[in-house]
Amino acid sequence: MQHARKSLKLLDGATFSRLVSESLLRLNPHWLARNPVMFVVAAGTLVTLCLTVADLIAGRPWGFTLAITIILLFTVLFANAAEALAEARGRAQAESLRSTREQLVARRLLDDGSEEQVAATDLRIGDRVRVLAGELVPADGEIVEGAASINESAVTGESAPVLREAGTDNSGVSAGTKLLSDSIVVSVSVASGQSLLDRMIALVESAKRQKTPNEIALTVLLSALTMVFLMVVTTLVPFASFVGGAASIPVLVALLVCLIPTTIGGLLPAIGIAGMDRAMRANLVAKSGKAVEVAGNIDTLLLDKTGTITHGDRQASDLLAVSQCAPHRLRDAALLASLSDPTPEGKSIVGLAKQHGAVLTADEATRFVPFSAKTRLSGVDLPDGRRIRKGAPDAIRRFVTENGGSYPDETTVLVERVARGGATPLVVAEDAKVLGVIPLSDIIKRGIKERFQRLHKMGVRTVLITGDNPLTAAAIAAEAGVADYIAEATPEDKLEYIRKEQAHGRLVAMMGDGTNDAPALAQADLGLAMNSGTQAAKEAGNMVDLDSDPTKLLEVVEIGKQLLVTRGALTTFSLANDVAKYFVILPAIFIATVPAMQALDIMQLNSPATAVLAAIIFNALVIPALVPFALRGVSIHAGSADSLLRRNLLIYGVGGLLLPFPAIKLIDLGLGLFI
């Protein structure tokens, strides 16, 4: 299933003006206090501002201090803007959804069976509402009566209608989606304000956003570093005066701001929000930020075969008659048994039989036997009393023995050969006699093998879940390159498997839709529920995929990893930057009193004043310059951890070490033109 990727431009006119006001609003100390690094910058700005004013009053030169103040102010504003921008992008999408829903009107069913019109926002959990063709579903819920085709494009961007039906695993509907046909009764399952959308919006709003565990750990580390640099800069005052030097306070504030990790400190909230936003752009709704972070750590992915690995439409590919049976007999029997079988498999058998020259049509007296869960057979009773059946090998074996026949070894051999080839064997029998085997082949999706290899390199084990027999499962697993498989899987098997994996310390992700998947979804570390699924499944999972696309699990893992890599890479970059700044600011501070410090000025900058300004301008500009990295995420070329580390260390570590030297020199050259 293709989902429309929504891409927003990084910036347009309207968002820009909003961004400016947001950045200014966030100068409020209460807000700043949430980010220790930027708080220190803001405090420093205040100090230099006071000094500027003092200089102004005392009639001392004040231009330099004012310049520092302004640049520091911009450092804070840039960080605020980065956060606001990430938030705006996330919210823009969420709000467009919300606006469609705020005007929704619902027909609430009363106990006496009558209806009343209420606003969607007044609906409570458990309310039952009727939705007619052409109307919008007023709230998230579950269909309790009827079936309907629904256009979910408001949520997923995909306009092909989907079928939703009461009592099935596809009974969930989302607010804002449109009923195309029929009429249904929906039981409201989420109170207004707590729907998926509302939760999603909360994840991208900084004020409500909860920091994820890794974000908290990183904040602790950044705070500790800030404390160290605070001490480094403060103690410089007595040290300098002890050796007969002097350091002016504005320059020391500038040094402090350069040293503390403003780059990562300023972008950290934006990175977190952008991670949620990226998930949302893939039409994934996470219930918490932690869920996205966990995705990066997943060790084992449980994947449904159908839809994920194969296209899901099995086709009859051959007719293998047993030796006692003439091939045309098998051909005709297969055709008869499938004539009124509506499944794609049945139709493909008819097609294949006709290709092989069958010309039979159904007789009036023919009685079709539809597939039932009890017998696991389908077929036809002919007027002459012959009963033709097709089904799984074990079902046919029972059928044949019940009719007094025997199940020949040859059949078993054929069945195994088919299964080993990765196809599903369908056995055809007539009364007590087995006629032959029809292999049903499923086509493995193109590119899926490469994708699994990539995941494997990243250390993710993929596990195939299928209702097929073990031989077929093994064959498909081998062909698709998955590490393990669960054949003839029941929901209990999935739960069991997840528990087993977790007992080995692995983090497991799975996707599910049915009510009976709910325990497994809840048990999995990352439970991705399909939006088309039942409410129980959606409740149990910690993420919902609006597209109901089974391959989405793979994307979730990559989004989670990208979130962490972005944080790590920008932290490394931020710290590596500091080395160059020392070489700029220290000589600038001391050159007047300690002439020998000239030797440290390896970049030969214009003057101490331009050097200091160049350093803090660089420091401020790095923040907006890295916003695209923060919002889009650092690219993770799938590869082993070691190659990823080598790459990031080279780009963000060594790069971060070297980049400031030419950059500051350039800014200094520019400043030299004016000062």
Partner 1 sequence: MNEVILIYMAALLLAWPLGRYLASIYAMEPGPSDRIFAAFENRLYRFIGVDPQTSMSWKQYGKSILKLHLIIAVLALAVLMLQGWLPLNPDAIGDMSWDLALHTAASFITNTNQQHYSGQAQLSYFAHMFAIVSMQVITPAAGIAALVAILRTAFARRDASALTADGAVVVGNFYVDLVRTIVRVMLPIALITALLLSWQGVPNTMHGAYVATPVDRTAELAEQRIPVGPVAPMVAIKQIGTNGGGWYGPNSSVPLENPTPISNFIETVAIVLIPMALVFMTGHLTGRRNLGLMIMGMMLIMSAALTTLNIWSENQPNAAFAGLAAAGPNMEGKEVRFGATATALWGSFTTQTSNGSVNGMHDSFNPIGGATLLMDMFINATFGGAGVGLINFLIFLLLAVFLGSLMVGRSPELYGRALEAKEIKLISITLLLQPVLILALSAITVAIPGLAQVSNPGFHGLSQVLYEYTSAFANNGSGFEGLGDDTPWWNVSCAVALILGRFIPILAPLALAAMLAGKRVAPTSSGSLCVETPTFALLTLGVIVLFALLSFFPVLALGPLAEQLTLAG
Catalytic residue annotation: 304
Tell me if 506 contacts partner 1 by CB under 8 A.
yes
Among 38-46, 225-233, 276-284, 666-674, the segment contacting partner 1 (CB under 8 A): 225-233
Tell me if 209 contacts partner 1 by CB under 8 A.
no
Q: How far apart are CA 337 and CA 416, in angstroms?
A: 23
Among 191-199, 229-237, 357-365, 610-618, the segment contacting partner 1 (CB under 8 A): 229-237
Considering the complex, state which of residue 58 and residue 503 has its C-beta at the smaller distance from partner 1: 503
Considering the complex, state which of residue 256 and residue 435 has its C-beta at the smaller distance from partner 1: 256
Work out how close the CB of 546 gets to partner 1 at its nearest, in angstroms, rounded to a whole number: 24
CA 146 to chain centre: 32
Work out how close the CB of 523 gets to partner 1 at its nearest, in angstroms, rounded to a whole number: 15
141: nearest Cα among 154, 152, 126: 126
Among 96, 234, 343, 453, binds partner 1 (CB under 8 A): 234
Report the site for partner 1 in 310-329 (rule: CB under 8 A): none
Work out how close the CB of 432 gets to partner 1 at its nearest, in angstroms, rounded to a whole number: 52
**Would you tell me how many other CB atoms lie within 10 Å of the CB of residue 159?**
11
Total residues contacting partner 1 by CB under 8 A comes to 80
Considering the complex, state which of residue 58 and residue 243 has its C-beta at the smaller distance from partner 1: 243
- For 71, phi then psi, to 5°, come to -65, -40
- Residue that the structure tokens 């350091």 belong to: 247
Tell me if 299 contacts partner 1 by CB under 8 A.
yes
Among 93, 214, 462, 574, binds partner 1 (CB under 8 A): 214
Tell me if 645 contacts partner 1 by CB under 8 A.
yes
DSSP H helices in 112-195? 153-156
Q: Which tokens is 115 given?
A: 């209806």
What is the full DSSP assignment across 348-406?
A: HHHHHHHHTT------TT-EEE---TTT-EEEEE-TTS-EEEEE-HHHHHHHHHHTT--
What are residue 434's DSSP bridge partners? 429
Work out how close the CB of 596 gets to partner 1 at its nearest, in angstroms, rounded to a whole number: 3
* Binding map of partner 1 across residues 579-618, x = CB under 8 A, - = no contact: x--x---x---x---xxxxxxx------------------
Among 142-150, 281-289, 612-620, 641-649, the segment contacting partner 1 (CB under 8 A): 641-649
Largest Cα span, the chain:
116
* Binding map of partner 1 across residues 451-490, x = CB under 8 A, - = no contact: -----xxxxxx-----------------------------
Tell me if 242 contacts partner 1 by CB under 8 A.
yes
Q: Which tokens is 615 given?
A: 């350093």
**Would you tell me how many other CB atoms lie within 10 Å of the CB of residue 96?**
11
Work out how close the CB of 350 gets to partner 1 at its nearest, in angstroms, rounded to a whole number: 47
Work out how close the CB of 479 gets to partner 1 at its nearest, in angstroms, rounded to a whole number: 22
Among 124-132, 159-167, 222-230, 379-387, the segment contacting partner 1 (CB under 8 A): 222-230
Report the site for partner 1 in 107-136 (rule: CB under 8 A): none
Considering the complex, state which of residue 537 and residue 565 has its C-beta at the smaller distance from partner 1: 565
Q: What HEC string does 129-145 produce?
A: EEEECCCECCCCEEEEE
Q: How far apart are CA 300 and CA 357, in angstroms?
A: 48
Q: How far apart are CA 102 and CA 439, in angstroms?
A: 53
Among 10, 50, 144, 224, binds partner 1 (CB under 8 A): 224
463: nearest Cα among 454, 472, 473, 471: 473
Among 331-339, 346-354, 639-647, 661-669, the segment contacting partner 1 (CB under 8 A): 639-647
* Binding map of partner 1 across residues 277-296, x = CB under 8 A, - = no contact: ----------------xx-x
Give 310's DSSP letter.
Answer: B
Q: How far apart are CA 22 and CA 159, in angstroms?
A: 35
Is the Cβ–Cβ distance between 314 and 442 less than 8 Å?
yes
Considering the complex, state which of residue 99 and residue 635 has its C-beta at the smaller distance from partner 1: 635
Among 344, 653, 655, 670, binds partner 1 (CB under 8 A): 653
Tell me if 216 contacts partner 1 by CB under 8 A.
yes
Tell me if 50 contacts partner 1 by CB under 8 A.
no
Work out how close the CB of 540 gets to partner 1 at its nearest, in angstroms, rounded to a whole number: 22
- Residue that the structure tokens 């010309």 belong to: 359
Work out how close the CB of 555 gets to partner 1 at its nearest, in angstroms, rounded to a whole number: 14
Work out how close the CB of 500 gets to partner 1 at its nearest, in angstroms, rounded to a whole number: 13
Is the Cβ–Cβ distance between 55 and 49 less than 8 Å?
no
Among 187, 223, 515, 548, binds partner 1 (CB under 8 A): 223
Considering the complex, state which of residue 166 and residue 649 has its C-beta at the smaller distance from partner 1: 649
Work out how close the CB of 219 gets to partner 1 at its nearest, in angstroms, rounded to a whole number: 8
Among 28, 194, 235, 343, binds partner 1 (CB under 8 A): 235
Work out how close the CB of 561 gets to partner 1 at its nearest, in angstroms, rounded to a whole number: 3
Q: How far apart are CA 307 and CA 551, in angstroms?
A: 8
Q: How far apart are CA 84 and CA 303, in angstroms?
A: 37
Is the Cβ–Cβ distance between 313 and 342 less than 8 Å?
no
Report the site for partner 1 in 387-416 (rule: CB under 8 A): none
DSSP H helices in 103-129? none
Work out how close the CB of 498 gets to partner 1 at its nearest, in angstroms, rounded to a whole number: 15
Report the site for partner 1 in 337-396 (rule: CB under 8 A): none
- For 143, phi then psi, to 5°, come to -75, 125
If you compute the radius of gyration of the chain from its CA atoms, what whole number of angstroms results? 33
Among 160, 221, 592, 602, binds partner 1 (CB under 8 A): 221
142: nearest Cα among 164, 157, 160: 164
28 contact partners, CB below 8 Å, separation of at least 6: none
Is the Cβ–Cβ distance between 295 and 559 less than 8 Å?
yes
Strands 178-179 and 367-369, by their bridges, are: unpaired
Considering the complex, state which of residue 40 and residue 565 has its C-beta at the smaller distance from partner 1: 565
Considering the complex, state which of residue 257 and residue 259 has its C-beta at the smaller distance from partner 1: 259
Considering the complex, state which of residue 94 and residue 575 has its C-beta at the smaller distance from partner 1: 575
* Binding map of partner 1 across residues 537-576, x = CB under 8 A, - = no contact: -----------------------xxxxxx-xxx-xx--xx
What are residue 119's DSSP bridge partners? 105
CA distances to 34, 197, 214, 627 from 210, in Å: 11, 17, 12, 21
Q: Which tokens is 640 given?
A: 């082993």
Q: List the helix and strand counts (H, then E) for the chain.
A: 24, 23
